[in-house]
Structure 1
Amino acid sequence: MKKRYLSSKIPFLLTLSLLCWSSWAVAQGVRGRVMDAQSRTALPGVSVAVEGTNSGTTTDADGNFTLSLQPGSYSLRVSFIGYTTQTVAAQVSGADFTTVNVALREETSSLSEVVVIGSRSTQTRTSTETVSPVDVIQSRDLLATGQVEPTQQLNFVAPSFNSSRQTIADGTDHIDPATLRGLGPDQVLVLLNGKRRHNQALININGTVGRGSVGTDLNAIPSAAIERIEVLRDGASSQYGSDAIAGVINLRLKERPGTTVNAQLGQQYESDGEVAQIGVNHGFKLGQNGFLSLTGEFRHRGATNRAGTYNGPVYVNWNVNRATGETDAAYIARRQGLYNQDQALIQQNNFSLENNMQVGNSRVDNAGLFLNMRLPLGATTSFYASGGLNYRKGKAAGFYRYPFQTTQVITEIYPNGFLPNIESTINDQSLLIGVNGESNGWRWDISNVYGGNSFRYDITNTNNASQFALKASAPTQFYAGTLSFYQHTYDASVAKDIGSQLGLKSFNVAAGLTFRNDQYRIKAGEEASYTNYDPASGRSGGAQVFPGYQPANAVNATRSMVGGYVDIETDLTENLLVNTAARYEYYNDFGGNLAGKLAARYKFSDAFSLRGSISNGFRAPSLHQRYFSAISTVFVSTGQGLEPRQTGTFRNDSPIAQAFGVPELTAEHSTNYSVGITSQPGRAVSITLDAYQINIRDRIIYSNQFARGTSAAGVIIGTILDQAGQQEVNAAQFFSNAINTQTRGIDVVVATSPRLGKGSIDLTLAANFNETKVVGDIQRPGALPNDAALGNFLFNRQDSARLTVGQPRSKIALTANYRLNKFGAVLRFTRFGEVQAFDPSNPRLDEFANPRLITDFSVSYRLQPTITLTLGANNIFDVYPDKLRMTQQPTPERFGSAVLDNSSYGRFVYGRSATQFGFNGGYYFLNVSASF
């Protein structure tokens, strides 16, 4: 019995013995606690990785971690979002755990951010060590602005960058034009993870900043996905290709493991423009050195309205012209009678004269999903990918149609008139895939980027006035067409540093080939969106506010480009850094361009360096500028009443453009000069100052209307239109390489991070001063005589002001970011310089907006190590730009041609052609951010 008992227990005893031995064998390794260096509170969710191995863990709710390791020497990499990563040594020996406690310091605005953009060298360089000026803006800096859209975040942290929302500007209400150094939206190149980002489908053809240009929609990228933004403020066409005349903006996506959540609720002081935003990013580790980062974000932006009180005609048009031979007394009496009739009907129908237009931000709902990943395929080779989907739904309004405007309103549907809406559906998608690695010292990279953007127009709360016979059954909404743009870019590059072979610290040689294919489409709208069903009636055809694209406007155009570059960067001495690059690109639709650059920095001491560059650049005309066309009916007031006129934007290669003598579009060419100083007079102080001059030749503009008329110029235009077979067309517009400009400016950045008592503070003073002027002669179409009136049809003083004084000539920002234990505060002062908007012909109607100082303030409290609550206000003192100069309105008691009306019967209180920072006033918000 005893033997049987023992034999039955032997397996159990052996198992128990093995478990005890196994427990003793692994009862060794590293354990410890991770805490905040200032508050000494525990940090849960911190990543603790053992370098060179697959071992790793995260801290628990109390900040503790445990790693089971065999005896030996190890390096632990301790990282947590929002804190500076630390690498600590750990020695494991014997049969017990080694204790390693780590205190992480919160990340601050480093004065020595490592710069990636502008160089293909592996040498680590900071913003004060590069040959060209670069701003490095971390995600925490973007978050601290209190803004939720990337364009507006950049607008308040990068003085050389400018973006203001537009109003009553059709599609431009939904995509913000963004510029660098006072140039155009299409003269700055946008990269995502170092690869070219596709352009938007929309071309700006309204009277806003960037008229005639095609930019890149930065708001299609979730702000929650952005780790940092690098802004290269120098011509870089030779390094990155077309569009990089003013510089390059490179957005780097997040890579780190862990989860971040950011949510914001806010609204304007005026109780409109509500904002609701939530963004979630989660990063996974893939193997030892790989990662997968996923981001989802939703943004809602409510509409704002700063319209004034309308004081014009509503039901009866009392603002009529004087009849031939009519006396002053008779004219006044006739207008007074009409005015009285109108006022009686306004009261009878309880028509509100307040806010019957929407002058302000459009309503926008934006949802996006993004990914960023890297997967090691071997010791030196990796597969990488990034991209995303973005969906945006917008709603903006146009001009109110009043009942007296019978050529535009079907009164059976809208007895009191209507406010038509432009509803946009914007889809954006992109995908980058690539493989890179290293072989025999050569770093190589092969990639493909696909990107696409589409903009669909739906017009609602409107009518086609030529369908008046249908009365109340006439349709009130229309599909007006879709614009789309798609791009494929293939890149292959190699690079190697052969400095050691030449006896130099560095001599990096890089070369690459690029092939790009672009596609631009216009799809026509439904028939009723553009057709005039009864031209003889004198009523307007097509959807009011935005007539649809016609079948004649439909296009499906493509082009291809092939190019190559060579880039050399070398530390010739310990103090002299030189960079030179050359690139050639050939486009199948207009030919080739060669760009080059020479830049250098000489370090006299740690406290002073001198840098400078000279380069030439180019911007290829966009497919949009080559192939966009549109035809619409415009009603013009004449002595006999309203006369319908067909107005068209004609393609650059169309017979009518050739009849006018408009040459084929070619590239814009630039010459860039830059000189600057960098200084680090102390460990905690950094200073950069850079002056620049950018000369642009053959700049592309969108002309004004060349209209028929009885004047000498009008007769010439009418003859050309008739000879081109366009007897039905009354006015024509084109894109043309017509002007030359010169831009000069200075960028200044001063930063310091001193200790302040028990806390710390980051202080940054950043400023941009720029001036653009039109130089040389305007290049008029070849078939037109050198006549001043014809010159104004092409490019008038209003167009010139839009380029030269339509954006602030200066922007100065002073930011203080203070932290003390769990508390933080951000105070920012931003001074926007003067802007101006000129009338096409009458200087008395010019408008000026004086400089304004905007103050933003927020306070934050760390509820837990992983959760921070921020309460703040942007434009805390509710500052608005100067109001339009209110002049006499054409009331019944006042008549004559000298009446000034800048305010459109009082509806516009603030200028909309040139804006500094918008006119929405103060905004307050509550933000919650968390990191796990």
Structure 2
Amino acid sequence: MITFTRRVSILFIIFGCSLLATAAALAQGVRGRVTDATTGIALPGVTVIAVGGTSGTTTDANGDYTLSLGTGSYTLRASFVGFEPVTNPAQVSTGEPVTVNFSLKEQLATLSEVVVVGSRSTQARTSTETVAPVDVIQSRDLVATGQVEPTQQLNFVAPSFNSSRQTIADGTDHIDPASIRGLGPDQVLVLLNGKRQHNTALINVNGTVGRGSVGTDLNAIPSAAIERIEVLRDGASSQYGSDAIAGVINLRLKERPGTSVNAQIGQQYAGDGGVAQIGLNQGFKLKGNGFLSLTAEFRHRGATNRAGDYTGPVYVNWNAGRNTVNGVPETDAAYVARRQGLYDQDQTLIQQNGFDRSRNIQAGNSRVENAGFFLNARVPLGAKASFYATGGLNYRRGLATGLFRYPYQTTQVIPELFPNGFLPNIQSTINDQSMLVGVNGESNGWRWDVSNVYGGNAFRFDVTNSNNASLQYLGTTNNPTEFYAGTLSFYQNTSDASAAKDFGTQLGLKTFNVAVGLNYRNDRYGIRPGEAASYLNFSPQSGKVGGAQVFPGYQPSNAVMATRNVYGAYVDIESDITDRLLVNTAGRYEYYNDFGGNVAGKLAARYKFGEAFSLRGTISNGFRAPSLHQRYFSAVSTVFVSTGQGLEPRQTGTYRNDSPIAQAFGVPPLTAEQSTNYSLGITSRPLANISITVDAYQIDIRNRIIYSNQFNRGTSGAGLIVANILNGAGQQDVNAAQFFANAVNTRTQGIDVVIATSPRLATGTLDVTLAANVNRTQVRGEIRRPANLPADAQLGNSLFNRQDSARLTLAQPKNKISLTGNYRLRKIGAVLRFTHFGEVVSFDPINPVLDETFSPRLVTDFSVSYRFMPAVTLTLGANNLFDVYPDKLQKAQYATPERFGSAVADNTSFGRFVYSRSATQFGANGGYYFLNVSANF
């Protein structure tokens, strides 16, 4: 009676918490704590079940659990992602609850972790047991890179993944292009918790890696929300749909209860590029196996600048061409003397005005402020069904610059506003949101899932510290220096219904999983024009350039709101035909209402010769539909074109593929890219603590979509045809035209190697991973040209010139090799990583003399950590420890008084660019040191 009274008292005092207190005091049950075997730290979110039964629970924030069971003997199993599962016996009888504690050891690197992406079977398989190669990267591995953005974290832990920040590339300064196996950003599909994630609104139209493509903004997802990332390195269009030619990246969000905090401050060795980041994740355990996980994260990334000192003309343009009088060019002596005189005038004015030549552009990272919030939840709906939801909001504000406008550029500068020229800014405002809701469960052996995900991205452009030169007549009165230049948007709604069942028992097989599904997707792409002053030329007769300098606004003629519907159906079969032979086959049909249907298929198998060796291979075909961006984007912008003597500004129009101008050029309608993928690999576990995977691949892509080079006006040949077409369309102010077109075929070949070991040392734990990717891409066959234009290489009228070819085939590292050691000894840890980035190459559009080759580089990262409280760890580290930079640009023989009469070769734009913008290995910011604090409660 006393015990009963005490229980009643507790019930009235603490209300809702009474259920937990009662469960802990029941006579028939088990309780205990789960800890990390190496550190002794309590592990929240660990699953504890009674094997063979239906009872289960998860540990709370303190690593404690309580499990109600009837009287009898049980085998309890504790499992947690990244740790080896453990089973313990438990004998439950009347009396006090039984205490069973668990101590979990970390698994062998990532190769022993169960893979989700790439298979719809419930059979648990590690990455050495799958039919296709998969990298599994835990959140602790991402944090250990010392990076704070998901793209950069992946860049240093996934060998086939590549992402480098771009500079002076308009919107691409704010969203990093990312790729797998050297292919395009739009040839990899991104999933969030297994569901398609939307693309960005931005299409990359500058001279960067991924030019002409549309990617997915991984940095819109807080790194603090990510539990792990799975990278499927194989064609998967038949399983997941369009865009999965190179592979799939699946981000799994956190589910475990408890509080985790990660904060970092740091900066570049050079003293700029300061970083401040704080991420907070709070997980709550709901009834049954339900959970609610909330994440908030803020990131600040300061700008960096690695520009050189400018040596070119400022007030007087002495870099002028040779004069001609009555058809007779001036003599060499007169030419040199004239240029010398102009040069002397310029130097006098520079000195008089105190013009600073040092680093007057910003060649480096843009400044970015990023704030994000995400939720991830599951709520049981009875014994065999659950409701789940994932959603997030992300806000980013960026500031980047263009090229300096100098006073001598009188068509671009209003001297009353900017007597000494100006450095224009592009200010971006990016809003990203998504919401996934779904219900899944099991009925009569069928596992079913119905979901809908809506997401989108809006990219607003504002131009500051600039002018519209055609408004010079306004003087300094009411003459704008800030402009709203327009907004891009892309929204996507995807509905899925799927069902799967394993018929292995009925067929006398270990497994025979059949999965079927239906998909519906609606895409919506829009361009909203900017204010009139951002794009209009208010005085065409003046010869001044209209629109905001650095980024002319989108015009009403560019405005669009385009939609399309996509319908899909797939079947996916996976079977352990024998204990040694695993086979997977899949087929998918998708219909696009704007260009038609497509079929993709896949056949994959793995044969296990023994515990130490397996052989696996796949063959598949895939496709990538042209994005709405590629079909409907249009704009008129100022493009700086390399002429061999510097950068020349040209007003360039991008015209829709279905426009009358494109049709007049003879550009065919866009169609889907088609691919054929082959892979063959081995997996091996020669010893219990060593795993090896080696996978070779070949990817053939036909009708690859590219963004053309400029088709320039001229007075003869193709140039005259271009001029006539543009003039006939009322585009007299436009110097050149560009299009999207299916123009080339490519073949990509390569090999991936991952070797991991975790030797158990008497004094601590050591994880060692060697990961490598070697690849080569070649353009094959003839390059398709617009039907109505003759070849005219002298005017640069090629759809896909040598610079474009190099950007596609040589601008990303030919190989990337990473060796990582992670050592832990009680409270102390250390991470040492060596990353070798292979050679990259850039070509000039016309002149081979200006081609550049950048040699391989080795980058070293090192950090040490100390756990000074049971739940708090402090890490001090340096990325690029030895301050390594890429090769400098070598073709820098630009005009000087001593060379006025000589040929000029210049990739540096009169010394402004020290490092390449078009081919990047790992960026050009140098070393970075940081202090990180992480806590788990």
TM-score range, shorter chain: over 0.9
| Alignment counterpart, residue 686 of structure 1, candidates 674, 687, 691 | 691
Query: In 1, distance between residues paired with 2:524 and 2:159?
Result: 34
Say which is worse superposed, 299-308 or 398-407, in terms of deviation.
398-407
Q: Call closer, same or farther: CA 1:312–1:790 in 2, change over 3 Å.
A: closer
Q: Distance in 1 between matches of 2:845 and 2:3?
A: 99
Following TM superposition, by how much is the alpha carbon of 1:258 offset from its aligned partner in structure 2, in angstroms? 1.1
Distance 1:669 1:566 in 2: 20
Q: Partners in 1 of 2:65 and 2:177 — Cα distance?
A: 49
Measure the CA separation in 2 of the matches of 1:198 and 1:411. Answer: 45
Specify the alignment match of 1:862 in structure 2: 867
| Residue aligning to 1:6 | none
2: CA distance, partners of 1:157 / 1:47: 25
Local SS of the residue matching 1:472 = coil
Question: What's the CA shift for 1:721?
Answer: 3.6
Query: Partners of 2:637 and 2:580 in 1: how far apart?
Result: 62
Cα distance in structure 2, aligned partners of 1:362 and 1:787: 38
Residue in structure 2 matching 1:428, options 410, 432, 440? 432
2:237 maps to 237
Say whether 1:615 aligns with 2:620: yes
Relative to structure 1, the CA distance from residue 632 to residue 687 in structure 2 (aligned partners, 3 Å threshold; closer, same or farther) is: closer
Taking structure 1 as reference, are residues 74 and 154 closer, same or farther at Cα in structure 2, changes over 3 Å only?
same
Specify which of 917, 923, 928 is matched with residue 928 of structure 2: 923
Q: Does the 8 Å contact 1:486/1:518 carry over to 2?
A: yes
Q: Is the 8 A contact 1:617 1:669 kept in 2?
A: yes
Structure 1, unpaired ranges of 5+: 1-10
Aligned equivalent of 1:559, options 564, 569, 582 = 564
Give the letter for the 1:347 counterpart: Q
Following TM superposition, by how much is the alpha carbon of 1:820 offset from its aligned partner in structure 2, in angstroms?
1.0
- Of residues 695, 698, 702, the one that matches 1:697 is 702
Q: Shift of the alpha carbon at 1:726?
A: 4.8
1:766 aligns with 2:759: no
What amino acid is aligned across from residue 334 of structure 1 in structure 2? R
Distance 1:513 1:380 in 2: 22
- Aligned position for 1:197: 197
1:248 equivalent in structure 2? 248
Question: 1:348 Cα deviation (Å)?
Answer: 2.3
Task: Give the equivalent residue in structure 2 for 1:398.
Answer: 402
Matched, 1:627 2:632: yes
Superposition map of 1:633-712 within 5 A: 647-712=652-717
Which one-letter code corresponds to 2:514 in the other structure? V
SS at 1:213's partner residue? coil
Given the superposition, is the C-alpha separation of residues 58 and 132 from structure 1 closer, same or farther in structure 2, using an over 3 Å criterion?
A: closer
Asked if 2 retains the 8 angstrom alpha-carbon contact of 1:56 and 1:67, the reply is: no
For the 8 Å contact 1:597–1:616, the answer to whether it is kept is yes
Superposed displacement of residue 216, structure 1 = 0.6
Normalised to the residue count of structure 1, the TM-score between the two structures is: 0.93
Once the two structures are TM-superposed, the CA of residue 412 in structure 1 deviates from its matched residue by 1.7
Corresponding residue SS for 1:315: coil
C-alpha deviation, 1:69, in angstroms: 8.3
Specify which of 446, 450, 468 is matched with residue 446 of structure 1.
450
Tell me which residue corresponds to 2:206: 206
Distance 1:374 1:486 in 2: 25
Contact kept? 1:34, 1:46, Cα under 8 Å: no
Q: Which residue of 2 aligns with 1:4?
A: none
The equivalent residue for 1:460 is: 464
* Offset, 1:712: 1.5
The 5 Å alignment of 1:31-110 reads 36-38=36-38, 43=42, 58=60, 86=86, 88-93=88-93, 95-96=95-96, 98-105=98-105, 109-110=109-110
8 Å contact from structure 1 (residues 81, 258) kept in 2: no
Picking from 442, 447, 471, the partner of 2:475 is: 471
Task: Work out whether residues 757 and 768 of structure 2, in 8 Å CA contact, stay in contact via their aligned partners in 1.
Answer: yes
Tell me the CA shift for residue 734 of structure 1: 0.6
CA distance in 2 between partners of 1:689 and 1:79 (Å): 29
Helix, strand or coil: the match of 2:512?
strand
Q: Is the 8 A contact 2:45 2:255 kept in 1?
A: no
* 8 Å Cα contact 2:60-2:258 kept in structure 1: no
Q: For the residues of structure 2 that align with 1:491 and 1:403, how far apart are their CA atoms? A: 58
Distance apart, 1:413 and its partner CA: 1.7
User: 1:12 Cα deviation (Å)?
Assistant: 12
Alignment of 1:37-186 (within 5 A): 37-38=37-38, 43=42, 58=60, 86=86, 88-93=88-93, 95-96=95-96, 98-105=98-105, 109-186=109-186
- 1:448-476: CA deviations, max 9, x gaps? 11010010000001111111122223111
Q: 2 CA distance for matches of 1:48 and 1:767? A: 34
Match of 1:258 in 2: 258
Counterparts of 1:610 and 1:48, CA distance in 2: 33
Structure 2 CA distance for aligned equivalents of residues 334 and 924 of structure 1? 51
Q: Distance in 2 between matches of 1:458 and 1:439?
A: 54
- 1:831 to partner: Cα distance: 0.3
Query: How far 1:783 sits from its partner (Å)?
Result: 1.9
Select 1:831's aligned residue among 813, 828, 836: 836
Q: Which residue of structure 2 lines up, in the alignment, with residue 388 of structure 1?
A: 392
- Equivalent pair of 2:220/2:432 in contact (CA under 8 Å): yes
Q: Which amino acid aligns with 1:374?
A: R
Distance 1:49 1:613, change over 3 A: closer
In structure 2, what is the Cα distance between the partners aligned to 1:823 and 1:644?
A: 56
| Compared CA separation, residues 646 and 820, structure 1 to 2 (3 A) | closer
The C-alpha deviation readout for 1:406-426, integer Å capped at 9, x for no partner, is: 211112221221110000000
CA distance in 2, matches of 1:810, 1:594: 33
Q: Secondary structure at the match of 2:899?
A: coil
Paired letter, 1:913:
S
Please point out which of 340, 344, 361 is paired with 1:340: 344
- For residue 416 of structure 1, what is the aligned residue in structure 2? 420
Q: CA deviation at 1:70?
A: 8.0
Q: Are the structure 2 counterparts of residues 56 and 363 from structure 1 closer, same or farther at C-alpha, using a change threshold of 3 Å?
A: closer
1:5 is aligned to: none
Q: Deviations over 1:468-503 (max 9, x none)?
A: 122223111000000000001111111111011111
2:286 corresponds to 1:282 = no
How much has 1:30 moved relative to structure 2? 5.5
Conservation of the 8 A alpha-carbon contact between 1:81 and 1:931: no
How far, CA to CA, are the matches of 2:613 and 2:26 in structure 1? 56
Alpha-carbon distance in 2 for matches of 1:109, 1:295: 26
In the alignment, is the contact (CA less than 8 A) between 2:34 and 2:46 conserved in 1?
A: no
Q: Deviations over 1:123-176 (max 9, x none)?
A: 111111111111111111111111010000000011100000000100000000
Quickly say closer, same or farther: Cα 1:380–1:626, change in 2 above 3 A.
Answer: same
Call closer, same or farther: CA 1:857–1:778 in 2, change over 3 Å.
Answer: same
User: How many residue pairs end up in the alignment?
Assistant: 915
| Map of 2:358 onto structure 1 | 354
Deviation at 1:931, TM superposition (A): 0.8
State how far apart, in whole Å, the 1-side matches of 2:660 and 2:368 are: 40
The residue type paired with residue 616 of structure 1 is N
Q: C-alpha displacement at 1:614, in angstroms?
A: 0.8
Partners of 1:462 and 1:893 lie apart in 2 by: 35
Cα pair distance change 1:55/1:772, threshold 3 Å = closer
The more displaced of 461-470 and 76-85 is 76-85
Task: Kindly indicate whether the alpha-carbon contact (under 8 Å) linking 1:46 and 1:79 is maintained by their aligned counterparts in 2.
Answer: no
- The residue that corresponds to 1:583 in the other structure is 588
Distance between the aligned counterparts of 2:758 and 2:835, measured in 1? 20
Per the alignment, residue 17 of structure 2 pairs with none
Aligned amino acid, residue 849 of structure 2: R
Q: Secondary structure at the residue paired with 1:713?
A: helix
**Residue in structure 1 matching 2:827, options 796, 800, 822:** 822
TM-score by length of 2: 0.93
CA deviation profile, 1:203-231 (whole Å, cap 9, x unmatched): 00000001000011000011111111111
Supply the RMSD in Å over aligned alpha carbons.
2.8
For structure 2, the residue ranges without an aligned partner over 5 or more in a row are: 11-20
Task: Give the direction of change, closer, same or farther, for the CA distance of 1:514–1:801 in structure 2 (3 Å limit).
Answer: same
Identical amino acids, percent of aligned pairs: 74
Secondary structure of the residue that 1:893 maps to in structure 2? helix
- Deviation, 1:757, is 3.2
Q: Is the 8 A contact 2:718 2:791 kept in 1?
A: no
Contact 2:850 2:891 in 1 (8 A): no
Aligned pairs for 1:737-886 within 5 A: 737-785=742-790, 792-886=797-891
